Amino acid sequence: MEDRQFRNAMGKFATGVNVIATEVDGEAYGMTANAFMSVSLDPKLIVISIGDKAKMLERIRESGKFSVNVLSCEQQEQSMRFAGQKQFEDKFEFGELAGVPVVEDAVCQLSCEVYNEHTEGDHVLFIGKVNDLTLTDGEPLIFNCGKYRELKELELEEVR
Ligand code: FAD
Ligand code: NAD
């Protein structure tokens, strides 16, 4: 099977878009990621998946902490910035939540500590224990079939 065919298949599954952030030696770093899932309620666990060539991998291992920031539909530029899809001159100012850098105005910020990690193929799955979170009103940014999109509400059929 071709990589492109697999990616096209995975791209059919619409997701939100996150920026994963962490801090090493006082420097904050971000990386765009859509591989994310809620794992457990007790304890509160989530999972992210980081490619073995991403610089973020060793940064998370070193800090032992990371944040997951669910971007709003007004933050496509931040997704492009932290995926290296577009270069920006300005310095990015992170906020902070429970000792971890976060993206301001994200619809959700999760401040996590590394609970476990599993290497699977060419990615590393980090299980994060959520220590704190914030929620902000707003519509999420969507990624589907390799394109950024916005949500559109569908009218529900009347149920009798
Ligand atoms: P870098 O290449 O160093 O950083 C990425 C970019 O962020 C660079 O352009 C850098 O300048 C910028 N940046 C980082 N920190 C700062 C800062 N403090 N201030 C300003 N700019 C900064 N990859 C995965 O492994 N898992 C995924 O789930 C995943 N999902 C993705 C979803 C989407 C929608 C997209 C577009 C990409 C996804 N990627 C994913 C790919 C990943 O985002 C890129 O490969 C990324 O470039 C890897 O970053 P890096 O850690 O190697 O760090
Ligand atoms: P795309 O068509 O490559 O992505 C569609 C879907 O394929 C993604 O949502 C993801 O589920 C999967 N995918 C893509 N690359 C993958 C990888 N290296 N490992 C595992 N799954 C992967 O969309 P695009 O616009 O061409 O993506 C932009 C860039 O971001 C590409 O370089 C892509 O590789 C990367 N990306 C990586 C991941 C990831 O590592 N999990 C996820 C999404 C995008």
Between 3.40.50.1820, 2.60.40.10, 2.30.110.10, 3.30.465.10, what CATH number should domain 3-147 receive? 2.30.110.10
Interface predicted TM-score (ipTM) of this complex, two decimals: 0.96
Q: How far is the CA of 82 from the centre of ligand 1 (A)?
A: 4
Domain layout of the chain by residue ranges: 3-147
Is 34 close to ligand 1, i.e. is its CB under 6 Å away? yes
The span from the CA of 16 to the CA of 27, in Å, is 26
Nearest to 97 by CA among 24, 23, 37: 23
Is 65 close to ligand 1, i.e. is its CB under 6 Å away? no
Q: What is the pLDDT of residues 39-88, one digit of tens each?
A: 999 999 999 999 999 999 999 999 999 999 999 999 999 999 999 999 99
Is 83 close to ligand 1, i.e. is its CB under 6 Å away? yes
Q: Whose CA is nearest to atom 25 of ligand 2?
A: 146
